[in-house]
Amino acid sequence: MNNKDFFTLANGVIIPAIGFGTWQIPSGDIAYNSVKVALKAGYRHIDSAQAYGNEASVGKAILDSGIDRREIFVTSKLPAEIKSYEKAVSHAALTMKNIGLDYIDLYLIHAPWPWTEIGADYTKENIEVWKAMEEFYESGKTRSIGISNFNVKDIDAILENSRISPMVNQIKLHIGHPQEEITGHCRKNGILVEGYSPLATGKLLNSKEIAGIAKKYGKSVAQLSIRYVLEKGALPLPKSTHPEYISHNLDVKFSITGDDVSYLDSLK
Ligand SMILES: NC(=O)c1ccc[n+]([C@@H]2O[C@H](COP(=O)([O-])OP(=O)(O)OC[C@H]3O[C@@H](n4cnc5c(N)ncnc54)[C@H](OP(=O)(O)O)[C@@H]3O)[C@@H](O)[C@H]2O)c1
């Protein structure tokens, strides 16, 4: 892809091409300061979730930043364990209360199954929950809606039973884990893929193979790994609590050759 700064969702909403991840950033001063630092460094897209327990700190950092609210894209997520219409409605309201903003920009179903039952079939429940997501979108409390960790079958169940299609699918996508089947299916259906854990939660950082490729481009392993997600046509969500890493991870305007992308796809 080109070095563009934004993607456009199926409903025309503009989404900044790199998001700041906040999983495992403790609520309170650490989350507040990390988001403030990220906004100061130039991020205009913050990825949060009710399950991260830090929505209030994220919202406060955004409000205190002095940046026009309309310039910042904010995501939160319905907890994976919430699998009924009524609970989805009340948890969406809870997110709004926690985050303290008039609206959010993207609301996702965090996963198609509760975390204690990964892979279990919750198709019927997800269809019911999606109705609450559609209504939340129509209420204007969120500018877009989507899913996370959904595979092809899970995506199709929603597409076949919805009035409004998901605009985003947030999935684990990093070097060595290119997720071709899901990304291809999303592309075909106008769903933007967001790539979470672009550094494999830090596991890629010591890879000698990736370091060898990064060196060719005069970039770090972290930068090459984030750029790789963009080369796959997806939107990366790097996380850090260190100000130097937070800025460094935004400096990814370069291109990786097709041959190098294929090599990086194949790394285990
Ligand atoms: N939807 C889902 O189910 C789901 C699941 C997982 C993640 N996510 C989203 O994706 C985001 C990112 O994924 P992730 O949290 O797994 O981690 P990640 O971005 O893949 O990696 C973060 C780790 O890498 C370190 N790091 C970051 N930049 C670095 C740099 N330039 N140099 C050296 N080390 C660096 C961080 O250290 P420090 O923090 O110590 O600086 C942290 O340990 C999450 O925060 C969340 O928003 C979503």
Structure confidence by residue, pLDDT tens digits, 54-109: 999 999 999 999 999 999 999 999 999 999 999 999 999 999 999 999 999 999 99
Residue 107 sits in a domain whose CATH number is 3.20.20.100
Residues 170-195 have a mean pLDDT of 98
Rounded to the nearest whole angstrom, what is the distance from the C-alpha of residue 141 to the centroid of ligand 1? Answer: 27
The pLDDT value recorded for residue 2 is: 52
The pLDDT value recorded for residue 268 is: 82
The answer to whether residue 170 sits within a structural domain is yes
Rounded to the nearest whole angstrom, what is the distance from the C-alpha of residue 198 to the centroid of ligand 1? Answer: 7
- Which of 149, 199, 223, 252 for a ligand 1 pocket mutation test, highest count of atoms within 8 Å of Cβ? 199
Put simply, whether the predicted model's pTM sits higher than 0.95 gets the answer yes
The total of structural domains in the chain comes to 1
Annotated catalytic, 52? yes
Query: Is the model's pLDDT at 1 over the cut of 70?
Result: no
Domain that holds residue 23: 6-266
The answer to whether residue 232 sits within a structural domain is yes
Rounded to the nearest whole angstrom, what is the distance from the C-alpha of residue 238 to the centroid of ligand 1? Answer: 5
Structure confidence by residue, pLDDT tens digits, 96-136: 999 999 999 999 999 999 999 999 999 999 999 999 999 99
* Number of helices and strands in the chain (H, E): 10, 10
The answer to whether residue 19 sits within a structural domain is yes
Percent pLDDT > 70 in the chain is 99
> Ligand 1: which residue has its CA nearest to atom 43?
202
The finding on whether 236 has its CB within 6 A of some atom of ligand 1 is: no
The answer to whether residue 119 sits within a structural domain is yes
Residues 141-147 have a mean pLDDT of 99
Long-range contacts of residues 91-99, Cβ cutoff 8 Å, at least 24 apart: 91/50, 92/132, 92/133, 92/136, 92/141, 94/50, 95/50, 95/55, 96/141, 98/50, 98/55, 98/56, 98/59, 99/48, 99/55, 99/56, 99/58, 99/59, 99/74
The answer to whether residue 1 sits within a structural domain is no
